[in-house]
Amino acid sequence: WKKLYFAHHWPVTVCKMDANDCHNPPMYWTIHGLWPDRAEDCNRTWHFNVTEIKDLMSDMRHYWPDVLHSSLNRTQFWKHEWDKHGTCAATLEVLNSQKKYFGKALELYQYIDLNGYLLKAGIKPSSSYYKMTAIKEALTRFYGVTPKIQCLPPEEGEEAQTIGQIEFCFTKELQLVNCTALKDESNPVQAHLKLGTSELSVCSDTLPTYYPPEVQ
């Protein structure tokens, strides 16, 4: 693999996609995962062991919660992220244990501080719509790189797409880089995040964009 996608998702939108078990989603962007491009399930014998991250537990629950299953003792989401992505990221020395992988993701979350930056830029959950180009430009201006922004397409009778996920890309040296794939690079991994019947895809620049303040 060549780069890492560091994905934040907006809990309210995640709940909109699959509302069966969502209770009071956090009102801040949380971590979805840290994903090497083009690699999944690299070592099926390296099992997730929650005791290895016990020191990170309070941060994990706060910044990397399982939005869809809100009980605090569930570790299924983290296990899934480790099995699918962490075992692949572990080829890098800085990510080569469960503690390092989850710990580094938490560090990157603080470093990017997406919640703090969006507020500074005046982009906050609202019942009025945003222009996607304005959100993109604000992020690119601040971070110096182009992130990948994913939305829920409008449902029947809706005019706006709903912002759901913002991914930042890092090199193997953990330097921020543009997420835009070069012409010859396809990225089959994570093209779509599917939950329930709806899925996220790259946001349209032309549709009005809804940044939902609460679960409808």
Beta bridge partners of 6: 34, 168
Q: What is the pLDDT of residues 161-180, one digit of tens each?
A: 999 999 999 999 999 999 97
Q: Is the pLDDT of residue 72 over 70?
A: no
Hey, where are the domains in the chain?
4-211
Q: In terms of DSSP bridges, do strands 198-202 and 148-152 run parallel, antiparallel, or are they unpaired?
A: antiparallel
* Top-confidence residue, 179 or 182: 179
Q: Annotated active-site positions, please? A: 32, 81, 85
How far CA 19 is from CA of 34, 63, 182, 199, 200, in Å, comes to: 24, 20, 36, 13, 15
Q: Are 106 and 59 in contact (CB under 8 A)?
A: yes
How would residue 192 be classed by pLDDT, with cut points 50, 70 and 90? very low
Q: Is the pLDDT of residue 5 over 80?
A: yes
pLDDT at 185: 44
The superfamily CATH assigns to domain 4-211 is Ribonuclease T2-like (3.90.730.10)
This prediction's pTM? 0.91
Q: Is the pLDDT of residue 188 over 90?
A: no
